[in-house]
Amino acid sequence: MTQTVYIIGSGQDGGLPQFGSRMAPDMTARVDPLAVRLGPSICIVDQPVAGAPGSCFLVDVSPDIKEQEDRLLKLPAYAARATQNPFDGVLLTHAHMGHYAGLVHFGREAANCSNLPVWCTEKMAGFLSANAPWDQLVSLGNIELRAVGTRGRVSLQPWPGLSIRPIAVPHRGEYTDTVGISINETLLYVPDIDNWDAWPAAREEVGKHKISLLDATFYSRDELPGRDLSEISHPFITDTLKKFGDLTKDRRIILTHFNHSNPVCDPGSVQARTVLEAGFELAQEMTAIRL
Ligand SMILES: [Zn+2]
Ligand SMILES: [Zn+2]
């Protein structure tokens, strides 16, 4: 099987444009489709074999899932699917709005999914089962929760050749814990983390993956005048370049999960150039990564 990972949303939870904001980048994105960045999510697509449609596995369900489905429908492997469930399985990293709120579309008022397997941590499964409106997705059988630990690897049956290793990472956890994931030990996806120093395994994990997609919510503290740094639950790109710069020589490090204020969202910015010159990549909408 050949798997391709599509970055179907490279924005922070609120995306770009962000609802309620009249900052210049948001006003630009309202008139320029190329400047739009949807909520954070990736989709793993198994290419069709012998005429059978490929399987599609979603990581996080952003509030922009409807627009993301529109984009996926342009891919033959996704468009060829003829099943009730829009995806074969879903994994959720944590319960911040950009990563799971799109689940509202999985219920009986919309897609009316049937026993869609949803992998998440035990705490997240408990949260979804105990709180409305998510509990109804469980009680009506739209989704089937499959709690995973953060030790060891989970084979996502029935997809031979696809395995996910959830990795616990430190991140603001009002409701649930947070995981990053390793896909087939080839691609590391960590869309949200408080800071790299709070995760002792950060360099080791990035070092052993061929491709890493990392939290790049803010470029620097200049975006957050007057904000207490201890309230910021993300590393700055300026720190990320220092932390992993030497590792870009023989692996791809792609930055993603950009806040609407992040200057790298503008490819012509000095900051975007600085990132590229340091050997990193900037996620674009629908970037395709062959595993
Ligand atoms: Zn997020
Ligand atoms: Zn978060």
Residue with token string 């947070």: 178
Closest ligand to residue 15's CA:
1
Q: At residue 178, does pLDDT exceed 80?
A: yes
Q: At residue 8, does pLDDT exceed 70?
A: yes
Interval between CA 12 and ligand 1 midpoint (Å): 5
Domain boundaries, the chain: 3-290
Closest ligand to residue 233's CA:
2
- Helix axes of 270-277 and 237-244: crossing angle, nearest 10 degrees: 10
Q: How confident is the model at residue 227 (pLDDT cuts 50, 70, 90)?
A: confident
Closest ligand to residue 95's CA:
2
Which CA distances in Å does 53 have to 7, 77, 277?
Answer: 20, 6, 40
Q: pLDDT tens-digit profile of 246-285?
A: 999 999 999 999 999 999 999 999 999 999 999 999 999 9
Interval between CA 201 and ligand 1 midpoint (Å): 20
How many other CB atoms are there within 10 angstroms of residue 52's CB atom? 9
Interval between CA 95 and ligand 2 midpoint (Å): 7
Mean pLDDT of 212-224: 93
256 vs 69: CA distance, rounded Å: 19
Interval between CA 19 and ligand 2 midpoint (Å): 17
- pLDDT the model gives residue 151: 62
Interval between CA 85 and ligand 2 midpoint (Å): 26
Interval between CA 80 and ligand 2 midpoint (Å): 33
Interval between CA 172 and ligand 2 midpoint (Å): 7
Closest ligand to residue 62's CA:
1
Percentage with pLDDT > 90 across the chain? 79
Closest ligand to residue 189's CA:
1
Q: At residue 49, does pLDDT exceed 70?
A: no
With a CB cutoff of 8 Å and minimum separation 6, the contacts of 279 are 245, 248, 249, 253
Interval between CA 274 and ligand 1 midpoint (Å): 24
Interval between CA 191 and ligand 1 midpoint (Å): 6
3-290 CATH: 3.60.15.10
How many other CB atoms are there within 10 angstroms of residue 96's CB atom? 22
- pLDDT the model gives residue 3: 87
With a CB cutoff of 8 Å and minimum separation 6, the contacts of 133 are 104, 107
Q: pLDDT tens-digit profile of 67-88?
A: 999 999 999 888 888 788 999 9
Interval between CA 82 and ligand 1 midpoint (Å): 31
Interval between CA 178 and ligand 2 midpoint (Å): 8
